[in-house]
Structures are given as C-alpha cells and as structure tokens.
Amino acid sequence: MSAGETLRLEYLTPSESRSHGWHDVLGAAAFDAGARAGDSGATDFGAADFPLAHVHAPVLAGSRELLELWRVSGRARADSHGRVRYAVSGELLFGSLSVHEGELRSGERPQHTPTPLAMATELAYRELYATLAAAGDPALVRVWNYIPAINLETHGLERYRQFNSARHDASLASGRAVAGSVPAASALGGAPDSPITIYFLASHRAPAFIENPRQVSAYRYPVQYGPRSPAFSRATVLGEGGEATLFISGTASIVGHRTMHAGDPRAQTREALVNIEALLEEAGRRPGIPPLRLEHLAYKVYVRDPRELPVIRAELEAAVGAKAALLYLQADICRRDLAVEIEAVGGYGWRSPQ
C-alpha cells in the first residue's frame, strides 16, 4: 500500500453497516445472505456501489447475517469487466464474481475441461485474470473461493481436486504462476445448488509470500492429494512497517502434508493455531515487518459440524482472548478429516473489527 493509504476490515450486521455508511467500502462479502449468481441477497444496499460476494455459509454464534466489509481511507471507484465487479482505490483492487455450473454457454466452455465444475472454475479464473490485466495487472494478494459440495466425488474425482486442476490450467493459460509467487487463499464448501463464488484483493504493490516451515508448501503437495496441487501461499504481507498487513490463508491441523488429530476438533484447533504462530514468526523475519501476536489478528473460523463449535470456540478464545475479532461460519473444509479451518488478517496500525 502506498504511504498514507489504509485498509481495514469490519464484521458488521446489515443494520450496523447501514449506520456506518458505505462511502469508503472497497468491497464486501455477505454470509448466509444469498447463494445465487446475481442475487442481491437479503440485505438492501440501496445506492451502494461496490463489489459484493454472496456466500452461502451460515453464521454461527451471533447474527444470522454478517457482512465482511473492506474499507479504505478514501472513496473507491467501482467498475466491471465481464462477470467481475471490482473497485479500485489507490494501489488496491477488490473484485468478486460467481459462476453457476449449469449456466455456461457453449462458447464459454473450454474443450479440455472434463466436468461442469472445472469449466466454471476455469471460466471464473480466466475472467479474474483478464480483469487484472485490464486494470494494469496488479498482483493478487488474497483470494477467497467458495465451492459448492466441495467434498463430493463426481466424474471419478473429488470436486475440490477438480477445482485445483481447473485453477491450475486457467493460471497457466493466462501466464500466471502456480507455485512460489501465488496469493494467500482459502477454498471452502458451499451449498450444492450455489454457484462457485470468488472474491479477491489485488495490489499494484507486490506482496511478500510467506511459507510455514512446519508444512510442505501447498503447491508442493504429493500426488496423493490430487492431480494438481493447490496454488496458494500460506500467507502474504502487503506493505511495510506500520502499514504492513498480514493475510493468512485458510490454516488447519496439517503438519508436513498430513492431517493431524483426525476426530478431535479441540486438538485440531490447537494445531491450527500453532501453524498460525509459525507464520507470524516467519513474517516477522522480513525486514521492515514488526512482530505480531495472535491477539493482533482478526479471525474467520470455518466449522464443519456446528455441534463442535463450543470446544473450538473455547480453544480459540483461550489463545487469542475473548475480545478478539472472531467470525464463525459453518462450511465444509477441503479435507473430509478436518473439523476446523482458520484464516486471519491483521497488522500494526491496522484496526481490527469490533
């Protein structure tokens, strides 16, 4: 981010968001507020003009509907490119799009992609990359992917693995990296009849890419996890010093490349937090990046089985404090043996959600 440019995150109910206003919103996601492409969701945004992703992920422990609002220090300029709605402020770009698997026209269907999900994924990522190219090619910093029925096996392959293969193909076709300089990201499940939904943050200032020494880089996973590895970094850092913001990818109970503590959501939560602490330590090794602690971050927590929320919540609050910003959502996770996945964002000079 450029000098004087700020980015902050808020988790608000629809009524709170209306009272705060939307003049400085770069982009947003609404949870449990609409799961169809083109829907406006349950919230009436009136004349608000910013990219908004509607994600079918029920909110746990709180309001039925919550908004994730990304605000900037000034006004953002909204625009669109193909299916992508995006907004620009200074060096930052926030965009969102959704694609239903059944809506693709014949001219939009890549010939080599074998499944409807793969076709929708490849189309979505080609449009995402085309939008970045048209906007002067800012670098992807963080991507959020929501994939309907992520763990279901169709056409002889789990849908998450279909997604990874199609993302890989679209990235290569668009001249993008599939290892190393790849954004922080997460991929969670959505309702079976919902579209694939993606929202993303990019910047004309290149981020730093962070890996976890406790884990094999996701883009180096062995073939047992699918024909193509997931293309994301464990974390990214944007900016330096007091302006630095750390974006931690969806993080789970994985050491090396193996799931740990299957069947024990409490132990999985603890292991995920150890991985987050390792990323904080790695980010702090970079010049100009001050050290961060768990309590400096805001968290989005995906819980597979809502009945396990109490033990997961107790572990998190014991580690990060009861006043930490914690948003809990119900969603399937990329591996069937994972009960919880945690993503985080924060930094010095950065105001966490209230």
Which residues belong to the active site? 341
Neighbours of 313 (CB within 10 A): 18
Indicate the SS3 state at residue 319. helix
Burial class (CB in 10 A: 0-12, 13-18, 19+), 4: exposed
Tokens read off for 192: 């079976």
d(CA 293, CA 287): 17
d(CA 39, CA 36): 5
Residue 24: phi, psi to the nearest 5?
Answer: -110, 20
Contact yes or no for 117/159 (Cβ under 8 A): yes
DSSP bridge pairs for 135: none
Neighbours of 216 (CB within 10 A): 17
- β-pairing verdict for 139-148 and 153-154: unpaired
Cα distances from 281 to residues 68, 234, 246, 285, in angstroms, run: 27, 13, 12, 7
H and E: helices and strands count for the chain: 5, 21
∠ CA 5-236-143, nearest 5°, is 90
Q: Which residue has the tokens 């069937």?
A: 336
CA atoms within 13 A on the CB side of 188: 30
